[in-house]
Amino acid sequence: MKPKSKWFYDDALVACSSDGILIRNFYFPSKRSRKIAWTEIHSARRRRLRFFSGRWRVWGMDLDRIWYHLDFLRPLKKEAIVIDVGGLMKFGITPKDFEKVFVIIKQRIKH
């Protein structure tokens, strides 16, 4: 039997557990979640949200091939976390507690 995941962070948009990241409202139009294991993540970085770089992208892909989960409050936010899993597309997340999630990700993917 697999042990249960330990949750480090959980809000309506993003959750971080001992297994990885859960991005809620990821897929369009089903709003299904996307799970990313810590071992899948190559890197994570901060990205300043500007007019043409994700700020008004409430859901979907921006011009830099970053896919953003559904977040109606993204236009009010200043930064996103961009997760690279090695594919053509990267994933942008905007959790409620940006700093806490960024620290958790950086600690978990440290190689």
15 in any annotated domain: yes
DSSP structural state of residue 51: I
The pLDDT of residue 49: 93
We report the CATH number of the domain holding residue 64 as 2.30.29
The pLDDT of residue 77: 95
pLDDT tens profile 8-22: 899 999 999 999 999
Across the range 40-56, mean pLDDT stands at 89
Whose tokens are 């997760």? That residue is 83
24 and 96 in contact (C-beta within 8 Å)? no
| Residue 1 confidence (pLDDT) above 50 | no
The Cα-based distances of 50 to 14, 62, 108 in angstroms read 21, 11, 28
25 in any annotated domain: yes
92 in any annotated domain: yes
